[in-house]
């Protein structure tokens, strides 16, 4: 009995211990459960909004979206620069599901970087890297198909604006170009960047499992067009003629460079401005510093005899010389320790200022300059705008060089009269001669006619501005008459246009050496400046040819180009001759491209549309310019589609849309 009592007691103790432990375990479990529930309550209820935001953040990416850059148009609404959407390929190396080397091998045929470079970028320790930007549409489609077919992760596209210049190299130095980040890098694209660059906003877009933006979320972020458009003073038809004139100069004379400016002398509007060498802004990376240079505003040169009419105007206007004053020309004249010769070393006997200008007599003009005095000549040169920039809407404009009149020797004064001892830019020359062509009133050159808001209202408009009146109307009329006689019966007859009265002056000057300490042996600048028709001057033209090979006189390399250009321009603009002439009836000028293109046919129904299939953008643009129709290009390469269709009629002044594709 005693042993049985001991067992009962032990059993009771064991049971008690087990129960105690169970209670402790249950308490611990209850505590853990309570803690878990409490934590879940805190996370799910109290921190609910914070956690949702965090989850959304992890399924979103940040993107910059930008509206298109504003268009650049000529004075008649023809498109010179337009933006179009393009695709840019990027990668998130952290999301790749294939070996970078294999992916690089697949992509290499379609991208503009090497296979090794693709592989290197795909191995970078980053979540974003560009592989190709602003891709051609065909290559984008090929890569997009590749990504889908091979189920490649970590590769995606962004929409980016790509700038397109439908006229290729036409007015390239004026318009400039845009870099990959939509910032203007040259020309008006750079100078007007703040006005026409598309607006940019940053958004967070919803992404899928592969960190690729969900299409619907991207659609919600489409930006409205907020860009302004720019209307220039350029006339595409005149610009085309100027470009063609330069191409002829380069082919015939093989100079270092050349430039042409066409301006309305009554308003200062630049109708054409062209330079050589040149480049295509659609592929600007193939250009170079010389090609980007706008020689019309940055090149400084000695003007030679084209400066004589301005110095003659100074002599007359100041009263230091009179129309009837006579100079006896022997072919040479001694000024201090220097002898100045006529271009042919021949003398013409007794001459007045009329003959001095007509036949470009160096000796006579040197004598007139010395008689007038260096201080007076320099004062008038400054009145004509030399020694300071014109302020045109382009970068890099040069001031040129004028002597300090207090430090001028008599030789400096004499040579200034014949266009030496002074350095000018082509644009300064055009501005100065606007006073001769415009009754003494000198007009400020400008390129931007107006900038328009997206709703069509005017944001900014440029009005013609008179800089000053450097000479009186009588002096301007006299010099204008002298220049008219130079072209009609004097030394500028190679610029004469049958049936029309134009004034002009040829010029030939030795080039300065690189360090400007002397003249370069055998290097010259040939030029011609002219304006008209004299009854109502509408066009002022300067042609400058830098270091032509072979013949180099302005009368040989520049004046004939003026004749070719103005013959075409007066016909295109319907300006009728004022003198009897033997010519073909006035009509449309058909510009002949590399292959046969039909002439423009206009009837009461409108403009008969040809088939543009296979044409280049330049050919389509030239034809539409001739027809007076607007041009809306899409894509690059050869034409594959058009609206209106061939055989139909387009209303006069309407727009024509043409789709282009490379290697159709």
User: 3-state DSSP: the chain helix, strand, coil percent, rounded to 5?
Assistant: 40, 25, 40
Query: Confidence band (pLDDT; 50, 70, 90) for 134?
Result: confident
Instruction: Please provide the average confidence, as pLDDT, over all residues in the chain.
Output: 85
Domain 602-661 adopts which CATH fold? Trypsin Inhibitor V; Chain A (3.30.10)
- Identify the residue whose tokens are 């609206």: 643
Between the CA of residue 424 and those of 388, 402, 415, what are the distances in Å? 10, 9, 15
**Cα–Cα distance between 246 and 275 in angstroms, integer?**
7
Hey, how many other C-beta atoms are within 10 angstroms of the C-beta on 212?
A: 18
- Identify the residue whose tokens are 């830019």: 425
Q: What angle do CA 165, 167, 170 make, to 5 degrees?
A: 105
Say if CB 627 and CB 602 are below 8 A apart.
yes
**Cα–Cα distance between 447 and 75 in angstroms, integer?**
10
Write out the two tokens for 595: 């292959």
Low-confidence winner among 263-267, 443-447, 486-490, 518-522 (lowest mean pLDDT): 518-522
**Cα–Cα distance between 482 and 479 in angstroms, integer?**
5
> So what's the pLDDT on residue 217?
44
CATH architecture of 237-572: 3-Layer(aba) Sandwich (3.40)
Sign of the Cα pseudo-torsion (119, 121, 125, 130, in order): negative
- Identify the residue whose tokens are 């808001």: 453
pLDDT at 587 over 50: no
Write out the two tokens for 144: 């997009």
pTM of the prediction? 0.74
In DSSP terms, which residues pair with 328 in a beta bridge? 350
Hey, how many other C-beta atoms are within 10 angstroms of the C-beta on 357?
A: 28
Tell me the per-residue pLDDT of 50-71, one tens digit each, with 9 for 90 and over. 554 444 444 555 555 566 789 9
> Where are the chain's structural domains?
62-232, 237-572, 602-661
Write out the two tokens for 326: 């006579």
Between the CA of residue 630 and those of 138, 455, 582, 607, 650, what are the distances in Å? 27, 19, 35, 12, 10
Q: Which CATH number, 3.90.1310.10, 3.40.50.11440, 3.40.50.300, 3.40.605.10, labels domain 62-232? A: 3.90.1310.10
**Averaged over 270-299, what is the pLDDT?**
96
- DSSP class of residue 109 equals G
Tell me the per-residue pLDDT of 298-307, one tens digit each, with 9 for 90 and over. 999 999 999 9
pLDDT at 437 over 80: yes
**Closest by CA position to 240, among listed 497, 568, 526, 558:** 568
Say if CB 427 and CB 261 are below 8 A apart.
yes
- DSSP class of residue 584 equals P
């Amino acid at each position: 009995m005693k042993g049985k009592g001991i067992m009962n007691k032990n059993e009771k103790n064991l049971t008690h211990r087990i129960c105690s432990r169970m209670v402790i375990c249950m308490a611990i479990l209850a505590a853990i459960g309570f803690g878990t529930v409490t934590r879940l309550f805190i996370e799910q209820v109290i921190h609910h909004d914070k956690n949702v935001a965090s989850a959304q953040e992890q399924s979103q990416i940040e993107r910059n979206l930008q509206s298109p850059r504003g268009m650049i148009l000529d004075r008649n609404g023809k498109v010179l620069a337009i933006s179009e959407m393009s695709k840019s390929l990027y990668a998130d190396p952290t999301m790749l599901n294939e070996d970078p080397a294999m992916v690089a091998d697949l992509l290499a045929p379609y991208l503009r970087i090497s296979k090794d470079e693709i592989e290197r970028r795909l191995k970078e320790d980053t979540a974003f890297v560009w592989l190709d930007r602003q891709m051609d549409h065909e290559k984008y489609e090929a890569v997009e198909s590749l990504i889908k077919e091979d189920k490649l992760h970590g590769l995606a596209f962004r929409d980016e604006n790509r700038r397109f210049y439908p006229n290729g190299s036409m007015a390239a130095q004026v318009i400039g170009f845009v870099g990959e980040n939509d910032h203007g890098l040259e020309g008006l694209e750079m100078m007007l960047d703040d006005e026409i660059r598309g607006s940019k906003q940053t958004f967070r877009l919803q992404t899928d499992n592969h960190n690729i933006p969900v299409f619907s979320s991207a659609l919600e972020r489409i930006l409205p067009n907020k860009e302004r458009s720019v209307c220039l003073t350029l006339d595409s038809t005149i610009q085309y003629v100027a470009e063609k004139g330069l191409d002829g100069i380069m082919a015939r004379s093989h100079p270092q460079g050349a430039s042409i400016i066409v301006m309305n002398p009554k308003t200062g509007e630049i109708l054409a401005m062209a330079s050589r060498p040149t480049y295509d802004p659609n592929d600007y990376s193939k250009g170079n510093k010389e090609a980007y240079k706008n020689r019309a505003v940055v090149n400084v040169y000695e003007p030679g005899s084209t400066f004589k009419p301005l110095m003659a105007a100074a002599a007359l206007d100041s009263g230091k010389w009179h129309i009837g004053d006579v100079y006896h020309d022997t072919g040479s004249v001694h000024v201090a320790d220097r002898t100045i010769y006529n271009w042919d070393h021949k003398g013409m006997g007794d001459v007045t200022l009329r003959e001095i200008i007509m036949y470009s007599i160096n000796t006579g003009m040197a004598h007139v300059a010395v008689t007038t005095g260096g201080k007076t000549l320099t004062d008038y040169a400054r009145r004509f705008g030399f020694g300071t920039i014109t302020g045109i809407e382009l970068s890099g404009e040069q001031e040129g060089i004028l002597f300090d009149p207090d430090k001028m020797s008599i030789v400096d004064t004499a040579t200034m009269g014949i266009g030496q001892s002074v350095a000018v830019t082509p644009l300064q020359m055009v501005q100065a001669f606007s006073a001769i062509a415009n009754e003494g009133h000198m007009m400020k050159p400008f390129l931007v006619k107006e900038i328009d808001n997206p709703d069509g209202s005017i944001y900014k408009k440029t009005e013609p501005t008179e800089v000053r009146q450097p000479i009186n109307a009588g002096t301007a009329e006299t010099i204008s008459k002298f220049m008219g006689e130079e072209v009609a019966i004097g030394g500028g007859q190679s610029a004469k246009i049958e049936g029309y009265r134009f004034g002009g002056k040829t010029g030939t000057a030795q080039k300065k050496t690189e360090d400007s300490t002397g003249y370069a042996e055998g290097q010259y600048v040939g030029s011609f400046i002219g304006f008209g028709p004299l009854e109502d001057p509408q066009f002022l033209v300067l042609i400058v040819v830098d270091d032509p090979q072979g013949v180099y006189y302005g009368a040989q390399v520049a004046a004939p180009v003026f004749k070719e250009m103005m013959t075409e321009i007066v016909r295109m603009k319907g300006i009728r001759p004022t003198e009897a002439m033997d010519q073909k009836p006035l009509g449309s000028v058909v510009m002949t491209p590399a292959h046969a293109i039909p002439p423009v046919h206009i009837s009461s129904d409108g403009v008969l549309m040809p088939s543009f299939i296979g044409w280049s953008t330049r050919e389509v643009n030239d034809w539409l310019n001739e027809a007076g129709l607007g041009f809306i290009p899409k894509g690059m390469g050869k034409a594959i589609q058009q609206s209106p269709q061939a055989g139909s009629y387009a209303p006069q002044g309407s727009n024509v849309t043409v789709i282009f594709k490379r290697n159709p």
